[in-house]
A and B are shown apart, each in its own frame.
Chain A
Amino acid sequence: MSRPNTFRAGPDEHGHFGIYGGRFVAETLMPLILEVEKAYDEARADPDFQGEMKARLAQYVGRPNPLYFAERLTAHLGGAKVYFKREELNHTGAHKINNCIGQILLARRMGKKRIIAETGAGQHGVATATVCALFDMPCTIYMGEVDIARQQPNVFRMKLLGAEVRSVTSGARTLKDSMNEALRDWVTNVEDTYYLIGTVAGPHPYPAMVRDFQSVIGDEVRRQMQEMEGRLPDSLVACVGGGSNAMGLFHPFLDDPAVAMIGVEAAGHGVDKGPDAHAASITGGRPGVLHGNRTYLLQDEDGQILEGHSISAGLDYPGVGPEHSWLHDMGRVEYAAVTDDEALAAFQLCARLEGIIPALESAHALAEIVKRAPSLPQDHLMVLCLSGRGDKDIFTVAGHLGVTL
């Protein structure tokens, strides 16, 4: 495979990153997808749109958030100098709000009257419900029955914010089924409804649009590292479910060959423990077509989609953003996988050493740093995307540690 001159030019006009991406949706949705694409192209070039987004991110979300030198963790690991990009300090406690601010401004610009979204762990649902409250738009969140049971605090948060949470009882009753239900809603309510997708997946233009809205993460890291260390970081590490926080961190650095990037998937019980034991689509899946795009998927020999497993409801998705699939094939980004147990250990380590309770999703990325940092030189600058706070996960973690709350 030939190496492109730039890794930042994609997708092409049809929404393809190499063979990945595309617009694999029902005809009923095609006119809407094309409308979103046109509206986004116009908004992106409009200084007023960019200006309002910037102001909302500063005043409402609290950006820029810090790039923090994790001194005790660094000393503990005894190798690379580890920095945390503190996305968990954003309003609503995760990176998801960056994308929601962008898309709600787009929905308003398009004259849409109602918002729908899917959610797994509930972080994107909470962020969507938040911006819908702020912009006074009715909002319906699809969430799997299984996820509702394991993420009760976020369900209550969404309801407090005025959202309707619809329990999804079809299929495996988790994130992929919630996305199916959201698509069914959209196809039924095409006139007035905007589908606010939470990750860098789905039909074009969503993967590119969500990446653009999340790229504020990497843009800030670039500037902040320049201020703190006078140079670029050596490596970037982020968890990958759909992969939006990772794309946001990575994208501004893709054309800096000296910057290494590692995307960390959920290995669940272990990638070698069978196809239903993990949620590592790139590490343990193969290319297929689902939810509007071609990408690496967990699937059986006959092309039926598998459920996947992870302790983290936010990583428990059988696909991954198409740009990640392409970056994997091109060899620009390395993809690794971390088990439930490794993530749990990193979760506790971070709490005790740094006084920060990370989301279980982010704990996967941290677990990879715990593996790598000790053997790297002390002048190696390593950045973790601390994508979310872990308060939502304390019940899950307590359960795994045998503690009753």
Chain B
Amino acid sequence: MSTVEQGRIARRFAALRAEGRAGLVTFITAGDPDHDTCAALLKGLPAAGADLIELGMPFSDPMADGPAIQASDLRALKAGARVSRTLELVRAFRAAEADTPVILMGYYNPIYAYGVERFLADAGAAGVDGLIVVDLPPEEDAELCLPALKAGISFVRLATPTTDDARLPAVLRNTSGFVYYVAIAGITGTASADAVAVAGAVERLKRHTDLPVAVGFGIKTPDQAAGIARVADAAVVGSAIVSRIAANLDADGTARPGLVDDVLGFVRELSAGVRGARG
């Protein structure tokens, strides 16, 4: 098993640095709007310009998420999403794509119910590179963060506007892969970040860590993604992509034929924004 330091996430950020550009991190929810459509989206994301992929693990009570991702979680659960099915999606994706990192993002209870040791073993075997678990702050590192690092899976931590200098070292201590800076105090998909404030925050983080810094929450358009790409190592777009999925559903929630093309087309626009940002 590869160690965290030599893994796909580190290689991808090294390649981005070599290209002299920031990365695009895309978020979709596993099993949204259904398993097969999600598999097709995942498969198409790298060619559409996603440099890293965050795959949401649906949860009934996503308390850090806004309406768009709440709705996508409910769609996925209604369509039969489960932890084991999420890992199947990663396994199928990984069979055809060796390089693009996949980070699972979600809440702790479904992982806890699956069993931490079993989850880490199955996630590693499926080709998962990292985890972002919203409700596991450093105070609870013994639960999953430390076992994940031991299993060779990165534990990506969120730093926020409320994480002050005194607290930052604790937040960064067991973080690996990259640091995810939450650009606003709030939930996903609502207020937009101010690029100037974000630039200052990224500088502050860089004084404390050598890890790449990705910035997310409130980035909705190619222009906004470009603005973030000028000041950070990667821009994360989630709710806007998930909303694009929602816009391609029939009244009964089934995917319309053009869904995959439309969503990937939007990812291409985001990617063009990110790629052109420092030009």
Contacts and interface: CB of A to CB of B under 8 A. Distances in A.
Given A188-B185, A188-B190, A302-B82, A291 B113 contact: no
Interface in B153-169: 157-164, 167
Nearest to B187: A184
A24 B164 contact: no
B109 A299 contact: yes
Contact of B136 (A24, A183, A187, A301): A24
Contacts of B27: none
A184 B171 CA distance: 21
B83 A28 contact: no
Nearest to A305: B60
Nearest to A303: B113
Interface string B88-113: 00000000000000000001111111
Interface string A165-188: 000001100001101100110011
Interface string B157-197: 11111111001000100000000001001110011000000
A26 B60 contact: no
B134 interface: yes
Contacts of B160: 26-28
B112 A26 contact: no
Contacts of A302: 82-83, 110, 113-114
B135 A170 contact: no
B106 to A, nearest CB: 10
B137 A30 contact: yes
Nearest to A31: B162
B113 A28 contact: no
Contacts of A27: 137, 157-160, 162-163, 171, 182
Given A26-B137, A30-B139, A171 B61 contact: yes
Contact of B114 (A24, A29, A303): A303
Interface residues of B, number: 43
Nearest to B217: A28
B252 interface: no
Which among A28, A170, A179, A191 has the highest number of chain B CB atoms within 10 Å?
A28
Contacts, number: 117
A31 B83 CA distance: 31
Nearest to B135: A24
B59 interface: yes
Contacts of A303: 59, 83, 109-114
Contact of B140 (A24, A183, A191, A288): A24
Contact of A171 (B60, B113, B140): B60
A305 B77 CA distance: 11
Contacts of A305: 60-61, 109
B162 A290 contact: no
Interface in B195-212: none
B67 A23 contact: no
A344 interface: no
Contact of B186 (A25, A188, A301): A188
Given A27-B163, A302-B82, A180 B108 contact: no
Contacts of B191: 188
A30 B185 contact: no
Given A26-B135, A31-B162, A303-B114, A180 B185 contact: no
A170 B187 CA distance: 14
B244 to A, nearest CB: 21
Interface residues of A, number: 37
A58 interface: no
A118 to B, nearest CB: 11
What secondary structure prevails in chain A residues at the interface with B?
A: mixed
Nearest to B158: A27
A184 B114 contact: no
Nearest to B139: A23
B185 A190 contact: yes
A29 B135 CA distance: 10
A299 B113 contact: yes
A180 B162 contact: no
Nearest to B64: A26
Given A24-B140, A26-B137, A187 B109 contact: no
B125 interface: no
B72 interface: no
Contacts of A176: 61
A377 to B, nearest CB: 45
A5 interface: no
A26 B157 CA distance: 10
A288 B109 contact: yes
Interface in A281-312: 288-292, 297, 299, 301-305
A183 B65 CA distance: 10
Interface string A197-235: 000000000000000000000000000000000000000
A32 B167 CA distance: 12
A180 B63 contact: yes
Contact of B67 (A170, A187, A299): A170
A184 B27 CA distance: 20
B95 to A, nearest CB: 24
B108 A289 contact: yes
Contacts of B271: none
A23 B137 CA distance: 8
B231 to A, nearest CB: 21
B70 interface: yes
Interface of A: 14, 22-32, 170-171, 176-177, 179-180, 183-184, 187-191, 288-292, 297, 299, 301-305
Given A23-B140, A32-B162, 5 more contacts: A26-B135, A27-B137, A30-B137, A171-B60, A184-B66
> Which 3 pairs show the lowest CB-CB distances between chains A and B?
A303-B113, A303-B110, A188-B186
7 contacts: A25-B135, A27-B157, A28-B64, A30-B162, A31-B162, A289-B107, A305-B60
